[in-house]
Amino acid sequence: MIPHEIVTVMERRRLVAEVRTQTAVQALGVVDALAAAGITTIEVSLTIPGAPEIVSHLSTRTDVLVGAGAVLDANQAREVISCGARFISSPIFSPDLVPACRDANVACILGALTPSEIITAQRAGAEMVKLFPGEAFGGPAYVRALLRQLTHISLQVSGGFTPENLGEYLALPVRTLALGELLVPPQLIERGSWMAITNRARAFADFAANPHAFAARFLAMMGVAQRPNPAAMGGGQGMADPMPRMPAAAPAGAHRGDTGRHRSPDTEGWLR
């Protein structure tokens, strides 16, 4: 595939799994679990020990599209491209990645945050621009404002996702959403809970494919209480707004971590 075709496949699949683990064995287990759920665009972080070998192993599979993430310079890019990476993703604007990718017919994704950085990255030759970190300037509201002005950008959003705002991101005309710990929580990796990861990932895949049909089920699985529907409160039919615009309240018994985000008291019960 040429870079344009690679990006088209990524866009059709919508979700990109950013795989970051402590070991290569864990990474391969995560990829198997994700692929079983239908999430098959895999970004292997170069922060994993032995990342090039992981990419090489995965590149022989026909059921996943594998690329490398956290790539910071052309030497790193050339190494993982030689191992079979089909796309190169960087959290920073590193223009020397563009010729390295172009020479190998590999898609290049450059990091940016501000409007000027985004346009500069796209003009430099990036097939897609990674907005990172996505929550830095306001999350979905910032992305929405960007897209009103920069109508022709090819954008991927990475970072800052919550169960409450994922539906808002899916409603925006961005090409892909790159999910990390929200999709694959570290505690599930540490326990080797591969089936739990598959079940969780399948909920994400269903939600991405049809947000309105699966919103209520997805939010319930994530342990998020939904806002009452005003129409229903007036005596009409219906239960709740499946696409809440504001963060939902924590479920009864939920508690907060240091980040202030809601956590379900049973983070894995529904996954068993």
- Catalytic residue numbers read 43, 130
Report the interhelical angle of 51-58 vs 24-37 (nearest 10°). Answer: 30
**Cis-peptide, bond into residue 230, ω within 30° of zero:** no
Pairing of strands 255-256, 176-179: unpaired
Nearest to 265 by CA among 231, 229, 225: 225
Nearest to 184 by CA among 13, 28, 24, 34: 34
Show the DSSP H helices in 114-239 as ranges.
Answer: 115-123, 140-149, 166-170, 186-191, 194-209, 211-221, 230-233
Interior angle at CA 245, CA 223 and CA 225, nearest 5: 20
In the chain the beta strands, taken as DSSP E runs, fall at 15-19, 41-45, 65-69, 87-89, 107-112, 128-131, 155-158, 176-179, 255-256, 262-263
